[in-house]
Every structure is written in structure tokens, then in C-alpha cells.
Amino acid sequence: MSSVKLFSGTNSHYLAEKIAGFYGKSLGKLTIQKFSDGEISPSFNESVRGCDVFLIQSTCPPADNMMELLLMIDAAKRASAEYVTVVVPYFGYARQDRKDKPRVSIAAKLNANLLSAAGADRLMTCDLHAGQIQGFFDFPVDHLDGSAIFVPYLKTLNFDNLIFAAPDVGGTGRARSYAKHFAVEMVICDKHRKRANEVASMQVIGDVEDMDVVLVDDIVDTAGTICRAADIIMEKGASSVRAICTHPILSGKAYDNIEGSALEELVVTDSIPLKKPSEKIKVLSVAELFAKAIRNIHDHDSISALFI
């Protein structure tokens, strides 16, 4: 077998070090220089010829993170790496996965094309905004499930009256999978938006009285939706409400929204670094999950064995 080498982009170095630790290897030596105007120039400081190379980088904004990853892929292929897998814990621009109105781009497909053009052989990611985005790629995609992180944590809370909630109709599938695993019911928060990141109205479909409610989502951006849902759920008589969201984008007034909401806690992963800590935000690590997935890929073992 070819040897495994792990490298990290600038944005995800904190996570890549933990992944490498769980895998049992040190991160490879990579230098990423920037010209005065911000132009990025990565270079590998060790041979990757014939190696199974894993490049770890979330592609959250700014766009430099995606450009840096593309250049890392190109550098690895030109250095004769045998196989290049991009490990993207958070795949950015995934919310733009269709034409929901005239004359807009499908950014998720464009990013998939860019990764292909750069020479990537495989993508490993977690909780895409829409599962069908896997079909945008012309190479294998390993789509890890955040439930492997959240389910063990939720079991430690020992709820007597647990129920799951989808913060919008689009998240019904995610909430249903958790409800099915725990053999409990679920409710849906039906929302209407005036524009992006602004909720006009919301109502709860289902009974949450005296229940311990867990909202399930893949990303939390401004936290407007999740906090509005939490407040309404408590108004409907719930005993408690918390949320699990894989990717903590937390932009704009997100921290103020969370602190002022009825949420007992927001449980997220470290797929994206937090801008600042908060007493209401608990971070669980995806490092061990990705390390196991990397090992299984290299050993040609099943990835589905890691799913709950």
C-alpha cells in the first residue's frame, strides 16, 4: 500500500492536528506563503510521490479557503501524489444547490467542478446541506453523518420526555432520523422567510407540551431560525429546548441571538472554529470520526460502519 500523508490548510489546522493525533501520524510539512497582494502559494516541504495524500480544509468564507485548497490539490498532483482525498469537514456554498429563483448561480455545483478540475480524486465531508449534492461530483464522496457525534452525547442527558424538532420543513429528514433512532416523536417548525437570514413567521406543527425538545439542523448561521423556533417551542409549553447543529457559522448577530434565546444549549462540532466562546455553546469534536474514516479509506474498509 502507498503511505498516508496528512496535510492541513490554514483554516483547519486546529482540527487537522487533532485528526492526525487520532490517526497516529504527524501532519506533513507544508508551507503556505502569501504575496503582498494576498495571492496564495502553497508548497510541500516533503515528497508526496506515490503517496495517498489527505488535504484537510473546510471551505467556509472567505473564498481564500477554497482557493487555498484548490492550489494544494494542484501542487500535490504535480508532485506525483498517487491519490488525493480532500477532507472538507464543512463544505461551503452548499446552500446554493439549486435555482430557487431566476438568474442565480448554483455555487455548490461550481465548487464541485473546481475540485475536479484541480485534480481531486475523492471528497470526504460531513453533513452536507443537501445530501443530493454528492451527485454534483464526478468522483467518490464519503458523506459522514454528524449523528455519530451527537447521539452518544444526547444519550448522556437521560431525557424522560425526549422529542426532536425540525426548525424548518427542509430539515424534516434530519430530525426524523434522530427520532427514529431514539424511538420518539418529532415536530416541525414551519417558517416563512421575507429574505435570506430573516424569518417573517413561524408555527409549530405538533405537540411539545412538557417535552424536552432537541432541534436538529446542519448549520447555524445568524441563529435567527433556531432561536425563533426555540422561543416558540417554549411558549407552547415545552420543559426544555436545546439544539444540535453540525456547522457553527455564527455570523452577524448570532451570538446575541443565542444568548437572548430560550435555548438551554447549542451543541455544535469543531468543523468550523468558533469566533468566540459562549456559555450556551458546547463543542464536540469530529476529529476521531474523520481519523477513523481516513484509516478505513486507506485500508479499503467500509465507511458505513462509522454511521449510526
Cell of 281: 455553546
- pLDDT band for position 193 (cuts 50, 70, 90): low
Over 60: is that where the pLDDT of 200 sits? no
With beta carbons less than 8 A apart as the criterion, state whether 106 and 96 touch.
Answer: yes
Residues labelled catalytic: 191
What is the average pLDDT across 32-42?
A: 96
CATH of 147-284, one of 3.40.50.2020, 3.30.930.10, 3.40.50.720, 3.30.1490.20: 3.40.50.2020
- Looking at residue 140, the DSSP 8-state letter turns out to be -
Helix, strand, or coil (residue 111):
helix
Q: What is the residue extent of each domain of the chain?
A: 4-144+287-306, 147-284
- pLDDT band for position 70 (cuts 50, 70, 90): very high
- pLDDT band for position 307 (cuts 50, 70, 90): confident
pLDDT in tens, 78-131: 999 999 999 999 999 999 999 989 999 999 999 999 999 999 999 999 999 999
The pLDDT of residue 308 is 74
pLDDT in tens, 133-153: 999 999 999 999 999 999 999
Cell of 276: 468566540
Mean pLDDT of the chain: 94
What is the average pLDDT across 159-178?
A: 94
Instruction: Encode 253-289 in three state secondary structure.
Output: CHHHHHHCCCCCCEEEECCCCCCCCCCCEEEECCHHH
Q: Determine the topology of domain 4-144+287-306 in CATH.
A: Rossmann fold (3.40.50)
Domains 4-144+287-306 and 147-284 share a fold: yes
Over 70: is that where the pLDDT of 214 sits? yes
Element (H, E) at 189: strand 186-195
